[in-house]
């Protein structure tokens, strides 16, 4: 995952353009992708696909020809979607177009308002004299397309689990390259799943809106979903519930997170693309998983969000959490107790003997008793795990053992 983050980091991405295509081509080396190009001007719900933006170079040179600000050193130096410009300006003329932070280069964009500008540290600005300065932004803004990609792992069921992450940020490692890297590894780990898993790699906001506009007829297949962002910083995990608030995905993630430091947040219509999937017309069961949430750390949307900011341990923890969530979604089903009158004799069926010597013998025994008691066709295994305050894995293992002993049958 770290190698993928470091490889993708230098690419200048935006909501459209060759940087997105290059990013998807690299992801495509790890996963088979279906890439879609949606032409400029296409109406997508209440929006229209914007013109495509590409940039080759940009700089501010002082009177000696030294580059005070250089796009080639860091692509955050240019305001995203800046229109082309070439000219000579005094510092006073440039100031309204210069965006700064102390010690950090901020990330700024202007997708739907044609303008231009540069981002730099406050210290760099303070060291600039009155000029004049030669300025270049070698960019193009013209009709093209918006690019997104999907990877689908077909399951036994056509019902889908949606994992969505955005591909529009330039050199920002945690937001969202760590999310992309974790999604890639999660996709690679899925083997013969019960659900079908759909991974969407798309630019933020307009990408999700475009996907929804082009897939309105199939959204009813989405039974569970997550947006994945900020997956590699050292903070604890944070989950934002779906608009529904009590969807199975909300309960599954909350159940898994109880074993680690975490924060649970109620839905709000601000943040990442969960707000598009959860818009009232769709109201899909899609929550948002991050570590430190949107704008919650000083490095957010600045040059401080570099590969050194993300940790292998944090990405591994995010991935492990997602795998456990998948385990809950895959294994959560309802059973019927085939011996519901009194407690069945487990000893003569070898079920108690099979637990001997295990370090979790008591937990496994309690899981069997709870599964037997609540397997009335109305309670799922997640219901039982929550009620019994037991790990889902223990409850699922008990159900497998009891099913094997002909004490349970799956409710269809």
Whole-number Cα distances in Å, 364 to 110, 355, 395, 405: 57, 7, 8, 15
Q: How far apart are CA 14 and CA 109, in angstroms?
A: 9
Handedness of CA 392, 393, 399, 403 (dihedral sign): positive
Q: In whole angstroms, what is the distance from residue 121 CA to residue 115 CA?
A: 20
Strand partners, 118: 78, 98
Closest C-alpha among 176, 109, 98, 175 to residue 139: 109
Q: Which residues pair with 104 in a beta bridge?
A: 101
CA atoms of 201 and 159, how far apart (whole Å):
20
Nearest to 137 by CA among 194, 61, 191: 61
What is the DSSP code (8-state) at residue 305?
-
Q: What's the 3-state SS for 38-67?
A: EECCCEECCEECCCEEEEEEEEEECCCCCE
175 annotated binding-site participant? yes
Rounded to whole angstroms, the Cα distance separating 186 from 181 reads 9
The position carrying tokens 């890297």 is 181
Among 286, 139, 121, CA closest to 212: 286
CA distance 20 to 84: 20
Find residue 61's DSSP bridge partners.
Answer: 67, 134
Q: Following DSSP, what letter does each residue of 157-171 receive, concatenated?
A: SS-EEEEEEE---SS
Q: Name residue 262's beta-bridge partners.
A: 237
> Is 323 within 8 Å of 386 (Cβ atoms)?
no
- Which residues make up each annotated binding site? 169, 175, 301
- Which residues make up each annotated binding site for Zn(2+)? 169, 175, 301
């Amino acid at each position: 995952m770290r190698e993928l983050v470091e490889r993708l980091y230098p690419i200048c991405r935006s909501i459209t353009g060759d940087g997105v295509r290059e990013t998807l081509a690299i992801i495509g080396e790890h996963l088979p992708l279906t890439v879609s190009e949606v032409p400029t001007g296409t109406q997508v719900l209440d929006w229209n696909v914007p013109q495509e933006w590409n940039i080759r170079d940009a700089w501010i040179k002082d009177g000696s020809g030294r580059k005070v600000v250089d796009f080639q050193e860091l692509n955050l130096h240019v305001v995203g979607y800046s229109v082309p410009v070439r000219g000579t300006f005094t510092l006073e003329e440039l100031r309204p177009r210069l965006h700064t932070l102390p010690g950090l280069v901020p990330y700024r964009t202007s997708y739907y308002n044609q303008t231009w500008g540069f981002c730099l540290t406050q210290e760099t600005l303070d060291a600039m004299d009155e000029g004049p300065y030669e300025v270049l932004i070698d960019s193009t803004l013209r009709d093209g397309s918006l690019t997104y990609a999907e990877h689908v792992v077909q399951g036994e069921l056509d019902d889908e689990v949606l994992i969505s992450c955005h591909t529009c940020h330039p050199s920002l490692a945690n937001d969202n390259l760590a999310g992309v890297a974790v999604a890639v590894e999660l996709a690679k780990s899925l083997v013969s799943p019960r659900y079908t898993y759909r991974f969407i790699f798309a630019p933020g906001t307009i990408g999700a809106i475009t996907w929804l506009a082009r897939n309105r007829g199939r959204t009813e297949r989405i039974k569970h979903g997550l947006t994945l962002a900020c997956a590699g910083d050292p903070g604890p995990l944070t989950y934002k519930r779906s608009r529904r608030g009590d969807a199975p995905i909300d309960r599954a993630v909350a159940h898994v997170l109880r074993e680690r430091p975490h924060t649970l947040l109620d839905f709000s219509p601000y943040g990442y693309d969960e707000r598009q999937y959860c818009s009232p017309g769709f109201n899909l069961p899609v929550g948002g998983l991050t570590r430190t949430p949107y704008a919650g750390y000083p490095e957010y949307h600045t040059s401080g969000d570099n590969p050194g900011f993300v940790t292998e341990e944090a990405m591994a923890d995010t991935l492990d959490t997602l795998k456990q969530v998948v385990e809950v979604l895959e294994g959560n089903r309802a059973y019927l107790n085939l011996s519901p009158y009194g407690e069945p004799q487990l000893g003569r069926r070898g079920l108690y003997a099979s637990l001997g010597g295990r370090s979790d013998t008591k937990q496994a025994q309690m899981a069997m008793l709870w599964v037997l008691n609540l397997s009335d066709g109305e309670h799922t295994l997640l219901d039982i795990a929550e009620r019994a305050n037991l790990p889902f894995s223990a409850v699922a293992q008990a159900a497998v053992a009891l099913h094997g002993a002909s004490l349970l049958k799956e409710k269809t």
